[in-house]
Structure 1
Amino acid sequence: MLALCETETQAAADNFRQAMRHLASGVSIITAGTGADRSGFTATSVVSLSVYPPRLLVSIDERSATWPLIELNGGFTANLLSSGQKHLAEVFAGRTGLHGAERFVGSEWREYLYAGFALEGALATVHCRLEEVIERHGHRLVIGEVLGSRTLVAGALVYIGGRFTAL
């Protein structure tokens, strides 16, 4: 016998959240802004949309303080975190009470014109120009045209089971 699917209830949302915690995801810090007017957040919804042409897709909560800076400056940088950068994942996830430019203090960052800030020592950085935005369910699905990227050889940081874990 077939089981009925849950409808759009709080229970369904909670169950979905629990199910997604079993999906291991890479951990990134998405940055935007210029100078002291900068912001960033920890993201696990970062996807390689296409290799040719190179495009990156990021899901951003519409309440994010970083979204207006991406929209204003027309770009962002995705910093894919290495296994030793768990503390930064916590900081940019808002778990330390720091906001905006305060989150960048204590780490080395390189600013890119229109494309936010690259974290020195990140597993990879991908600089993007804002190409398209799709609004759905309180989020912005942001498609970035890749302007450049760089990589390092290191272990990755992943998010699974509600925790950041070194891989």
Structure 2
Amino acid sequence: MMLKTQASPHSTPGSDALLFREGMSRVAGAVHVVTTDGAAGRGGFTATAVTPVTDSPASLLVCVNTGSRSAQALLSNRVFCVNTLAAADAELADIFAGRAGLQGAERFSRGAWDILETGAPGLTTSLVSFDCRISDARVVATHHVIIGEIIGIRLGEQRPPLIYHGRHYHEL
């Protein structure tokens, strides 16, 4: 089914946003829980907008909505950890996406967490945890685009990853 191939001169910004969201729902992505801790408090959120930037120095890019409470804590703390989820950790993805009614530090009552070198929480069952310090951050439209230099990497067990596609979680 072809919805639209490009924005028409008569389309509204809202319809283009809907088309964009529908298109992105068809792009499979790994599911991560991004965590932070420090003077601004502990927080975390579920993200698929995570990508490598460079391997020298090793760095990742993370995008998060500017209205997110966890984003404010992450920016103030200047550290974060990207925890890549295994399929068995789908419940944590929902918790950190705000679908379980838990807020802030309460979200860490589920799962097994330890503290990494930066002070950010690391999920002990993650496939990999990237411990990062913010090296750059800027606002692009509705989101913070944050680049973190990787301070440490912890490899977890090799297990099936959690993937988000078609607005649902899947095991790969």
* TM-score normalised by length of structure 1: 0.92
- Paired residue type of 1:29: V
Measure, in 2, the Cα distance between the counterparts of 1:35 and 1:130: 15
Q: Offset of 1:36 from its aligned partner?
A: 10
Determine whether 1:38 maps to 2:51: no
Q: Gapped runs of 5+ residues in structure 1? A: none
- Paired residue type of 2:166: G
- Structure 1 outlier segments of 4+, above 4 Å: none
Q: Could you give the per-residue CA deviations for residues 3-62 of structure 1, whole angstroms, max 9, x where no partner exists?
A: 762345211111110010000000000001149931100000000111122010000111
Q: Offset of 1:112 from its aligned partner?
A: 2.6
Matches within 5 A, 1:24-63: 24-34=28-38, 37-63=41-67
The count of residues paired between Structure 1 and Structure 2 equals 165
Match of 1:66 among 51, 66, 70: 70
Paired residues of 1:79 and 1:126 also in contact (CA < 8 A):
yes
Determine whether 1:162 maps to 2:162: no
Paired residues of 1:73 and 1:115 also in contact (CA < 8 A):
no
Tell me the equivalent position of 2:82.
Answer: 78
Q: Offset of 1:63 from its aligned partner?
A: 0.9
Tell me the equivalent position of 1:5.
Answer: 7
Supply the RMSD in Å over aligned alpha carbons. Answer: 1.8
- Paired residue type of 2:170: T
Tell me the equivalent position of 1:19.
Answer: 23
Paired residues of 2:36 and 2:119 also in contact (CA < 8 A):
yes
Q: Gapped runs of 5+ residues in structure 2? A: none
* TM-score normalised by length of structure 2: 0.90
- Paired residue type of 2:7: C
